[in-house]
Structure 1
């Protein structure tokens, strides 16, 4: 990246942090609203299992509505979460099944980190039966791909509000500007989006806020060292460091797609345990202090299943993270349908 472009990007990234005191003081949390997060895992795998692909719901604890974080698997994940006791506080629907009530009424909108199929398949399939004009938030490149490659009346009907005619308008493709904060209507959440490097594609991270509490959700990403000179994770660590120091970052969710024995040339813009630990070291260094990440929940997802007999990538990755960690973070590995309270 040329210095002038990098300077502009860093200025954009730092702006919300430098203005933290001003805009945080102006924002209000609803009366009695807890300043923490609830995460429901609708899909946790990084491929192969088409009924269990990357998809989560997040809300401010006690809020009435969720924001979808990617949407590889939606309806099967809601069904699994209901089986595990999720959504017990939501009002029953009059004309919909419990699954349909959550899908139609409890999800206020979606953040799509990038347009790879394993992050959007569930949204596409279920769009036929969704209601309202829900926003889909993402970078311009992500939304362009959704419109061009999926909502085009060839791959799928155009349920978006732009693109191939007729545009049915069931979803509003809502472009986000990197580093610029916006409110999620119908929720107690505000958000800001930052670009990530994912092989040949630009992915993204969304930083969520309720009151003075923050949660960082990363789409697919590779390490900076393998990103062709880009420093997008380093830029994000600069944004998160003040929140870590102030104990306002309540959790960080990031992928670890493959175990350590997979060669760098075969990662294609993903992380291994070793690479994640190096990046967390970089965040700790940026943060400063003594064990600044101690106790921080790090939710691990997008683990790719294996078709090799006797190989369990999930167990391998869990063990490799445990063996290599020196930072005192708490690694969490939710299964499909689990609810995680942060913290």
Structure 2
């Protein structure tokens, strides 16, 4: 583990629309494994084959010599991949068929799923069905409303389908029958990676999932009544809402509609664990802030993440921030903006991590200051910054073939030390302090470093206005960095581009 990146993430689609060629899609692999069969997972598939083709062709075009069959990529996000074909599209088909072992879907909205539907027919039944892993409610929606022989052919291996896909229904919160210790509840995702899924909320709607029937049913008679203050259905489709109705736009609706008439739109957060190093990342689907949610669930994710942050095991979070702070809460439609994301990360920062105070270096070297970071920033020519965890991973920087090393804080304890390291006397002393001063100003303050130091936060699912102005991600990133510094979080924020490879 000494210094090497544990994960590589390739961002195929970084946006939340409206362009269909760049909506959400990531590839994740363990750097301990080669580009072999079943060595990669896709997380969401709004963009899948199109993103792979675009990324491959860009890297192949930058190569000085023509790519021949059997050549190995020497630059770009797919460095180290042996190409069985000559063209980008043929090699992309190979990656989809052979290299990607499973597709993890956070929720069944089209901007996270459409690429999978369109791409699936090129799969070959002889290679076995491609696994689609998700919560039961998401599998139900995919099965009943997409691969249903109406919207799209039934290409699954259920109900007499073509057998190109197979469904893996994940246990929310992790399957307790799998794993042990730090990986309790995790299931095998692909070679080298384990995963655990926690549900999060993505707004509210009138469709409720019933586990007994595995179907979604409309709550009440109709979401649209004769109330003149309510938006017509066609207004929703042009407002980039992902089909989520925002009751905050109609005060009379909020007052007159019983709370139990609404259902939560379920989304997911995947904890992805690298078996070789014990490191983890979290990839969120679309998510709303707990402060506005009908069914707040984010805190549970942060409670699971907090000891991993304190141990240095959690290296990065991929999370949406769809709009800038000019967007009012009623217009977020189950999404985040900078003020809400900072509030959520502040919850994570304020949770007890139980990090031990006086820790000796793990390798016997000189002790590192508690203020040192595992990730540093470097100013680029255009005035931006790039993290050490993604050095030379931008698709436009192909000067090195190997993924970068990480700069580790040698005082970072193991996860076991974080969970069990404090003595009972120390814990009682800390609990007494917490009652007087609050969680955030005790354990974390004693570290003399900001609570989320070393954690990289990558922003995805940004809604693009398709205007002549600067990219919306520029303003979102500026607001996040300013507010994150003011909140004393210590994490670093990045907005990746489509086709960018990130080593973490």
What SS class does the counterpart of residue 27 from structure 2 fall into? strand
Residue 459 of structure 2, aligned match among 275, 291, 300 = 300
Q: CA offsets per residue over residues 49-91 of structure 1, 9 Å max, x none?
A: 1000100000111423111010001111102221242223122
Query: Mean Cα displacement is larger for which, 199-208 or 311-320?
Result: 311-320
Which residue number corresponds to residue 20 of structure 1? none
2:286 aligned partner: 220
Q: Distance in 1 between matches of 2:45 and 2:136?
A: 18
2:491 aligned residue = 329
Partners of 1:310 and 1:33 lie apart in 2 by 40
Alpha-carbon distance in structure 2 between the residues aligned to 1:162 and 1:266: 39
TM-superposed CA distance for 1:130, in Å, is 1.9
User: Match for residue 202 of structure 2?
Assistant: 198
Q: What is the alpha-carbon distance in structure 1 between the residues aligned to residue 5 and residue 482 of structure 2?
A: 32
Q: Which runs of 5+ in 1 are unaligned?
A: 1-28
Q: How many angstroms does 1:45 deviate by? A: 0.7
Q: Is the 8 A contact 2:6 2:32 kept in 1?
A: no
In the TM superposition, residue 220 of structure 1 has moved relative to its aligned partner by 0.2
Could you say which residue in structure 2 is the equivalent of 1:43? Answer: 13
Q: Is the partner of 1:319 in helix, strand or coil?
A: helix
Contact in 1 for aligned 2:10/2:28 (Cα 8 Å): yes
1:41–1:81 Cα contact (<8 Å) kept: no
Segment drifting more, 331-340 vs 176-185: 176-185
Displacement of 1:168: 1.3
2-side partners of 1:86 and 1:264: how far apart?
37
- Find the structure with the greater CA-based Rg: 2
2:171 to 159, 177, 185: 177
Aligned to 2:108: 115
Aligned-pair CA distance for 1:311: 6.0
Rounded Cα–Cα distance in structure 2 between residues aligned with 1:303 and 1:36 = 26
Residues 1:155 and 1:293: Cα distance change in structure 2 (over 3 Å): same
Q: TM-score, normalised to structure 1's length? A: 0.86
* 1:133-155 Cα distance to aligned partner (Å, 9 max, x none): 12111000000000011101111
Query: Which moves more between the two structures, 240-249 or 300-309?
Result: 300-309
**CA–CA distance in structure 2, aligned partners of residues 169 and 330 of structure 1:** 43
1:210 Cα deviation after fit: 1.2
Q: 1:138 and 2:159 equivalent?
A: no
Please name the residue that 2:322 is paired with.
Answer: 257
Q: Which runs of 5+ in 2 are unaligned?
A: 60-75, 175-184, 205-264, 353-442
The one-character-per-residue Cα deviations of 1:192-214 (angstroms, maximum 9, x if unpaired) are: 00001001210001101113111
Secondary structure at 1:193 match in 2: strand
- Distance (whole Å) between structure 1 residues aligned to residue 326 and residue 465 of structure 2: 13
Residues 41 and 190 in structure 2, CA contact (< 8 A), matched pair in contact too: no
After superposition, give the CA deviation of every residue in 1:110-137 in whole Å (9 maximum; x if it has no partner): 1100000000011110001023312111
* Stretch of structure 1 that moved more, 270-279 or 77-86: 77-86
CA contact (8 A) 2:320 2:462 kept: yes
Q: CA deviation at 1:94?
A: 5.7
Q: 1:157 and 1:98, CA in 2 relative to 1: closer, same or farther beyond 3 A? A: same
Give the deviation of 1:167 after TM superposition: 1.0
